[in-house]
Amino acid sequence: MREVRRLLGAVAVAVLLTTVGACGSSTTTNDVQITQLANAKSGDLSLTSGWVLEPEGGSMADMPGMSAGETMVAAYGIFQNAGVKADALTSVVAPDGATAQLHVTKDDATSGTMSRVASLSVPAGGQLTLKPGGTHVMLTGLKPLPKAGDHVTLTFVFRSGARITVPLPVIPPSERPSS
């Protein structure tokens, strides 16, 4: 029950920050009593509810371009484009020594096969949603592996040249956001 309440609190803070962000002010505040999801903004682009899923151990299947047997860590969040021009997420800069790829999950509930893509569009006036079971940022080579309570700082790079650098909280599987 306590975990559920903490999660609800985190969502409430994320919603609050999203609302404030919509008014144009920058909102990056860390160390509220509860773990809050990351929010950041660059021009017309903003990230709301950014987070990293704490790896549960073990390694996923071999992926092209990645070392076999390496533990993968996924990052999620929602990007919004308030502008009138379409943009796209083209790369993500991971911490030193680590690698980030943009992945989509094939629409197949049973296999959940991932594949790498060169970019992910953020439509004008629209959003790009990265979520478990769907599109995500896949990180490998993070040392040490992130644990709940840590932050992983990523820089999201867009086709327009916009960049959003933000520390994303690491959330344990038991408290992962539902969206």
Binding site for Cu ion (CB under 5 A): 103, 114, 138
Give 122 or 138: the residue with its C-beta nearer to Cu ion.
138
Give 35 or 101: the residue with its C-beta nearer to Cu ion.
101
Angle formed at CA 147 by CA 17 and CA 80, multiple of 5 degrees = 30
Give 41 or 136: the residue with its C-beta nearer to Cu ion.
136
> Smallest distance, Å, CB 136 to Cu ion?
6
Do residues 81 and 124 lie in contact, with contact meaning Cβ atoms separated by under 8 Å?
yes
> Smallest distance, Å, CB 87 to Cu ion?
22
Give 76 or 158: the residue with its C-beta nearer to Cu ion.
76
Report the SS3 class of residue 14.
helix
Do residues 160 and 122 lie in contact, with contact meaning Cβ atoms separated by under 8 Å?
no
Q: What would the two tokens of residue 100 be? A: 């980030």
Q: What would the two tokens of residue 178 be? A: 């539902």
> Smallest distance, Å, CB 21 to Cu ion?
28
> Smallest distance, Å, CB 40 to Cu ion?
22
Burial (CB count <10 Å: 0-12, 13-18, 19+), residue 131? middle
Q: What would the two tokens of residue 18 be? A: 């999203």
